[in-house]
Chain A
């Protein structure tokens, strides 16, 4: 979706200043989004006793919440495109708060599935998508760092909420704890308030008199844009024509499939190896703690001028590193080795997650990122729900945990290598296509400068051509040229 080129020029992301407050907001929002489904499991035992539910019934709460969170992606990207990030995060925070508060009065499992699972999950999906989008609007040069800092919210909140939840459970019981947790989730509204919308200069809001001449065509622009956005709903599938997007999607699906199995089964594996229960639980804490610091560090490294143009390769390196860790895990059996494994696992996991959305932003560009991330999350729903049970099935069939690690490690390593090879291919193809696209772009920009509204109509009639036009802009500025600062904005608004 591209407005007229004249407006494209006028916007340069802040890359600092209030942007850092936005990162804080995104940190809180993403933190709640990723950690809530995990920390809720602390309440399960008491809810089970109180409501008389079986273990599998209770586990459905977390599954429904995660599924709703990921499946709600496309809807939330639609809303973010329409309303901007701030109202959506505030709405998401309210939904989460309401879901927990109403759940605290629940008396049946179905009621809990609806409240916590559906409403809570939808609220979290709104939070996640909108937070990622606003980062892409505020940052360009330092975007990987901003992404790393924001994604670090997940392990930070996991480490914070787990003991807090234990304390709340002991002091207030599960109902009181859900009530207070609902209150805590209202802080997402504070995070949303921080996400000041970016108003690029040249919009009808500014009162500069020189722009009055353009106001008329601007207004017709916004009307046409609105209609185009509605049409966009049905155009989601055009993403699959984008080579880079498909490559990224396959790689990230493979990663998600193998990523969560080792986490779920790490303590069980350690206990199986003869480690005592308390120390086994400690392994996950170590991993989370390392993760907390690795994510911003990875963001910092990825922002550097050596890595930034090659960020897709860095991402595939991170995946291969993670996968190799898993493959090496079953080799030795001592507790020290398991601790080392947990540390390296934390490093690998943090690296991948710090980069996972940054790479998508890099590929898609600002305007297409919200829709792309919605599509990616709903597709990622499937490997995320299938991964741990498949790993568990392997353990059941073979009776040995090492096959789980081999499976997960090999899937992730394959994914990483696939990304690496296919990205080389992709950039190669883009280099070949670049001269042709450049000529096309120059022709069209000359045409559009003559008649702004005429070109808008043209674009409306050929939405695919418009999308193809923005594609080389995005790709140009990403990989082929080693210049992290694009001259013209790949970031309209």
Chain B
């Protein structure tokens, strides 16, 4: 009887020992959503393995400052100001053999920014507007709006040939075909939505007329023609003087003619 009890106790302790070799990390909090600051903590329980240290990883990159040689099964990471850059997947890593880690997701609103806030397009040409997003999680939905008289009209992909929207989680492109000066000038809004909410940004589109450059061009051509004409006329007016300078007979002839003319005029008078 005593032997049976001892064996069962031994088996029980073995089983319990087996059960307790699977370490468990308790994370606090399990997820951060839309907070301005947070303190992430990891508690390693039920592990008898020696702990050589711990550190944190953000989006696959080790955070150097978080490296610690403490053998305590408890580690914290302070996030004082959570921006879209600091969102992402945080992993606390305990340096045991083998390593154990647990993930805490820090979620923020998407950060949507336009590539360029002022875009140019040429009339009857193609105009493209791009918005990009950073943060975690990346937007799952992108929508474009056109601002008309204060109201936002959604632009829907595929209804007309005019608009084309191509979206990936971190980038969206609105392509407008056959730009027209009357209809397409204005503000366009791109907005990205993830599980926490929506943010948007505005782009102003300017359409240049095809003929806009024509007027300065014609002005310059006119200037060139006028200058060339002036130069040639000036030269023609000076040339006769240069030729008569060299030859005396011609000059005297011309003065004689003038005298004759004068005489004739007087006679006629």
Contact = CB atoms under 8 A, between A and B. Distances in A.
A183 B217 contact: yes
Given A171-B212, A172-B208, A172-B213, 20 more contacts: A104-B213, A171-B208, A172-B212, A173-B213, A175-B122, A179-B217, A180-B213, A180-B216, A180-B217, A180-B220, A183-B220, A183-B221, A183-B224, A186-B224, A190-B228, A193-B227, A193-B228, A206-B243, A207-B250, A208-B247
Contacts of A381: none
Interface in A176-190: 176-177, 179-180, 182-184, 186-187, 189-190
Contacts, number: 61
B210 to A, nearest CB: 8
Given A183-B217, A183-B220, A176 B228 contact: no
B228 A189 contact: yes
Contacts of A175: 122, 213
Contact of A182 (B217, B231, B232): B217
A171 B213 CA distance: 9
Given A176-B213, A207-B247, A186 B221 contact: yes
30 contacts: A101-B217, A171-B208, A172-B208, A173-B122, A175-B213, A176-B208, A180-B216, A180-B220, A182-B217, A183-B219, A183-B224, A184-B220, A186-B221, A186-B224, A187-B224, A187-B227, A189-B224, A190-B224, A190-B227, A190-B228, A193-B227, A193-B228, A201-B246, A206-B243, A206-B246, A206-B247, A207-B243, A207-B247, A208-B246, A209-B249
B249 A179 contact: no
A193 B247 contact: no
A225 interface: no
B214 A179 contact: yes
- In this complex, the interface size class of chain B, counting residues with CB under 8 Å from chain A, is 20 to 34
Contacts of A193: 227-228, 231-232
A208 B247 CA distance: 6
B174 to A, nearest CB: 16
Contacts of A171: 208, 212
A173 B246 contact: no
Interface string A157-179: 00000000000000111011101
B221 A179 contact: no
A176 B221 contact: no
A437 interface: no
B241 interface: no
B97 interface: no
Contacts of B231: 190, 193-194
Nearest to B222: A183
B235 interface: yes
B120 interface: yes
A189 to B, nearest CB: 6
**Which of A175, A183, A206 counts the most B-chain CB atoms under 10 A from its CB?**
A183
Contacts of B212: 171-172, 176
A404 to B, nearest CB: 35
Interface string B220-238: 1100100110011001000
Contacts of A172: 208, 212-213
A208 B246 CA distance: 7
Contacts of A207: 243, 247, 250
Contacts of B247: 206-209
- In this complex, the interface size class of chain A, counting residues with CB under 8 Å from chain B, is 20 to 34
A196 interface: yes
List the 6 shortest-distance A-B pairs measured between CB atoms, nearest first.
A176-B213, A183-B220, A193-B231, A172-B213, A183-B217, A186-B224
Interface string B56-87: 00000000000000000000000000000000
A183 B216 contact: yes
Nearest to A201: B246
A207 B250 CA distance: 9
B126 to A, nearest CB: 9
B213 A177 contact: yes
Contacts of B243: 206-207
Contacts of B232: 193
A194 B234 CA distance: 10
Contacts of A177: 213
Interface string B144-159: 0000000000000000
Contacts of B214: 179
Contacts of A209: 247, 249
A172 B122 CA distance: 9
A66 to B, nearest CB: 25
A194 B227 CA distance: 10
B55 to A, nearest CB: 33
A61 to B, nearest CB: 20
A83 to B, nearest CB: 17
Interface in B100-135: 120, 122
Interface in B5-19: none
Interface string A182-219: 11101101100110100001000011110000000000
Nearest to A207: B247
Given A172-B212, A206-B246, A196 B235 contact: yes
Interface in B232-268: 232, 235, 243, 246-247, 249-250
Nearest to A210: B247
B227 A173 contact: no
Contacts of A183: 216-217, 219-221, 224
Contacts of A182: 217
A173 B250 CA distance: 60
Contacts of A190: 224, 227-228, 231
A436 B29 CA distance: 105
Contacts of B224: 183, 186-187, 189-190
A173 B220 contact: no
A396 B67 CA distance: 38
Contacts of B213: 104, 172-173, 175-177, 179-180
A374 to B, nearest CB: 27
A209 B120 CA distance: 70
A187 B224 CA distance: 6
A193 B246 CA distance: 25
